[in-house]
Amino acid sequence: MNINDVILKTVSKAVVLIILTFGIYLFLSGHNQPGGGFIGGLVIASAFVLMFLSYDSETVSDALPIDFKKLSAFGVLLAMASGIAPMFFGGAFLAQSFGYFDLPIFGKTELATVTIFEAGIALTVIGVVVNIILSISEDE
C-alpha cells in the first residue's frame, strides 16, 4: 500500500465525518441562516465522493449499501409528494406552511413543511452527483 494512500484514508475518515456533520447542519439551518437543501445535499455528496476517492468503490458500496439512482428518484418523488400533500388540506400545489411548537428538549421550535420539500431536493442532489461521479469513475 502506498504511503500517500494511508495518509489519505486516515485523514478522510475524520474529514468525512466533519463534512457530513457540516452538510446536515447546513441543510437544517437553511431556513433562517445560509444553507438549505441544495447546498446541504451538495456538501453531503462531496463527503461521499471523498469516501469513494480514498477507498475503492467496492469497500464503500459494502459499507454503504445505497443505490444512488434510486435515492435521486426518491428525492424527486418526495419533493413532488410534499407539493401534492397540501392540496388535500385545501392549499395550492406546493403551498408550504409553518408553525411554532414547544418541544421537550429544544424548547420553542419552528417546524416548517418546507423542510420535507428541501429534503427531497437534497436527496436528489446527493443521488445525482454521486451517481454521475461513480459512473464516470467505474467506466472502463
Partner 1 sequence: MYLLIFAILIPFIATALIPLIHKRIGAFHIGWFVLLVPLALFAIFVMQIPAISNGETLIQAVNWIPSLGINFTAYLDGLSLIMALLITGMGSLVVLYSIYYLSSSDSFPHFYAYLLLFMGAMLGVVLSDNLLVLYVFWELTSISSFLLIAFWYHRKNSRYGAQKSLLITVFGGFGMLAGFLMLHSMTGTFSIREIAAVLGQYTDHTLFYPAMFLVLLGAFTKSAQFPFHIWLPDAMEAPTPVSAYLHSATMVKAGIYLVARFTPLFGGSAAWFWTVTLVGLVTLFWGAFCAVRQTDLKALLAYSTISQLGLIMSLFGLGSAALHFGDGELGELYGLAIFAALFHMINHSTFKGALFMVVGIIDHQVGTRDTRRLGGLISFLPITFTFAVIGSFSMAGLPFFNGFLSKEMFFTATVNAAILPAFGASTWGLLIPVIAWIASVFTFVYCMVFVFRTFFGTPQLKKLDRKPVEPSIGMLISPAILCIFIVGLFFVPNLLGDHLLKPAMNGIIPGIPGAAPHISAWHGFNAELFMTLGIIVIGTFLFLTFRSWYKIYLIQPAGWNFTVLYNSFLKGLKRAANWITTHYMTGYLPAYFAYIFIFFIVTSGGALIFTGALSIDLTADSPIAIYEGMLIAVMVIAAISMLFAKSRLTAILLNGVLGFSIAIFFVLFRAPDLALTQLVIETVTTALFLLCFNFLPEWTKEDSPKRTKIRNAVIAISAGVTVTLIGLTVNSGRLFDSISGYFEDSYELAGGDNIVNAILGDFRAFDTMLESLVLFIAGLGVYTLIRLKLGKGTKKDEHQ
- Site for partner 1 contains 109 (CB under 8 A): no
> Residue 16 CB, nearest distance to partner 1 (Å)?
14
Residue among 11, 87, 106, 109 that touches partner 1 (CB under 8 A): 87
Residue among 1, 2, 90, 103 that touches partner 1 (CB under 8 A): 90
Residue among 92, 105, 107, 108 that touches partner 1 (CB under 8 A): 92
The count of other CB atoms within 10 Å of the CB of residue 81 is 12
What secondary structure does DSSP assign to 41-101, as a single string?
Answer: HHHHHHHHHHHHHHS-HHHHHHHS---HHHHHHHHHHHHHHHHHGGGGGT--TT---EEEE
- Site for partner 1 contains 47 (CB under 8 A): no
